[in-house]
């Protein structure tokens, strides 16, 4: 960004919209993957980007805060072997918003950018990090480990209005129809369109009722970290038919069933029940390998 050229590559297949990757995505993935591998030789890491750019500064430290939760950690998690861990990395979530922020010189959009690192064990998320580099002056890191609470943010426990967040850049007819159905049943008093899976889940943690994406296109690296954090806060994240999303290493990377995330203070099942069956039928779960 400082250099003024994001070096954007469009990853979208011809005729299927716009899916930008910037030099920041490539460098951040290199940094995260190499830093993790340096410390943990045998974990399986799956990142969004196929192409990376070497970045000389790796991270060798760790947050002492994590050690403070040690006494809360279950024996099951304590005994995990490196080879049983799958880390899903989204080096930069909200890339479209970064591109737009620079293009339109609208730096407020950068708030929607996050870095997502999710840790899965036995196919389900057990820990997650949502780093928001452009929050307030110095950014913030929101993280959770199963059984050890949510850190870096105090999750909202209620709200008088049900605000639903959805995609800004990947709207489709099925996304709109699902939102209309929710409005009809008073499950969406208003709808906000914002970028990034990470940012939308932060919004849910901070008082929005739900994140609704009744469309395919979102990937496992978009949801693994955020599901870990949201469930530690008492919320739920499933596909739009209410099925758990799986995170085994050989699972299909697309969340073909869409995404529905709800805050702790709303009934997840009511949102699931309200989304029309026809939309659900068009978004089947595909469990086949990659």
Enumerate binding residues for ligand A3P (CB under 6 A). 17, 19, 48, 90, 93-96, 167-170, 195-197, 213, 217-218, 222
Catalytic residue among 95, 114, 167, 238: 95
Partner whose footprint covers residue 195, from ligand A3P, Mg ion, none (CB < 5 to 8 Å by kind): ligand A3P
Known catalytic residue at 166? no
Partner whose footprint covers residue 49, from Mg ion, ligand A3P, none (CB < 5 to 8 Å by kind): none
Residue of closest CB approach to ligand A3P: 217
**Residue whose CB is less far from ligand A3P, 96 or 174:** 96
50 labeled part of a ligand binding site: no
166 binds Mg ion (CB under 5 A): no
Known catalytic residue at 95? yes
48 labeled part of a ligand binding site: yes
**Residue whose CB is less far from ligand A3P, 162 or 170:** 170
Task: Give 48-56's long-range contacts (Cβ < 8 A, gap of 24+).
Answer: 48/89, 48/90, 48/91, 48/219, 48/221, 49/21, 49/25, 49/91, 51/9, 51/21, 51/26, 52/26, 52/27, 53/23, 53/26, 53/27, 54/30, 55/27, 55/28, 55/30, 55/31
Partner whose footprint covers residue 167, from ligand A3P, Mg ion, none (CB < 5 to 8 Å by kind): ligand A3P
48 binds Mg ion (CB under 5 A): yes
CB of 194 to ligand A3P, least distance (A): 7
244 labeled part of a ligand binding site: no
Among 93, 97, 111, 239, binds Mg ion (CB under 5 A): 93
Among 52, 95, 215, 231, binds Mg ion (CB under 5 A): 95
92 labeled part of a ligand binding site: yes
CB of 202 to ligand A3P, least distance (A): 13
Catalytic residue among 5, 19, 22, 25: 25
Residues of this chain that bind Mg ion (CB under 5 A) = 48, 90, 92-93, 95, 222
Q: Which residues are documented as binding site? A: 48, 90, 92-93, 222
Active site members: 25, 95
Which amino acids are annotated as binding site for Mg(2+), given as ranges?
48, 90, 92-93, 222
């Amino acid at each position: 960004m400082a250099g003024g050229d994001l070096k954007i590559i469009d990853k979208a297949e011809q005729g299927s919209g716009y899916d930008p990757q910037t030099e920041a995505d490539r460098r951040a993935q290199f940094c995260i993957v190499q830093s993790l591998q340096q410390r943990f030789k045998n974990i399986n890491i799956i990142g969004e980007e196929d192409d990376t750019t070497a970045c000389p500064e790796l991270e060798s430290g760790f947050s002492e805060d994590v050690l403070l939760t040690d006494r809360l950690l279950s024996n099951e998690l304590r005994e995990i072997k490196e080879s049983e861990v799958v880390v899903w990395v989204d080096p930069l979530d909200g890339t479209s918003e970064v591109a737009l922020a620079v293009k339109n010189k609208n730096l407020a959009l950068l708030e929607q950018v996050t870095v997502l690192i999710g840790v899965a064990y036995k196919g389900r998320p057990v820990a997650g990090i949502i780093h928001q580099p452009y929050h307030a002056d110095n950014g913030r890191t929101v993280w959770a480990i199963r059984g050890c609470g949510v850190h870096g943010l105090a999750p909202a426990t209620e709200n008088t209005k049900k605000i639903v967040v959805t995609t800004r850049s990947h709207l489709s007819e099925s996304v709109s129809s699902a939102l209309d159905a929710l409005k009809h049943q008073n499950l969406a008093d208003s709808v906000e369109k914002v970028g990034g899976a990470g940012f939308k889940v932060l919004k849910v943690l901070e008082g929005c009722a739900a994140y609704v994406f009744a469309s395919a296109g979102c990937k496992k690296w978009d949801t693994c970290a955020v599901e870990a954090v949201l469930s530690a806060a008492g919320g739920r994240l499933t596909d739009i038919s209410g099925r758990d999303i799986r995170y085994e290493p050989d699972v299909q990377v697309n969340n073909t069933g869409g995404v529905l995330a709800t805050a702790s203070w709303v009934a997840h099942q009511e949102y699931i029940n309200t989304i029309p069956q026809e939309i659900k039928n068009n978004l089947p779960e595909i469990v086949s390998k990659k």
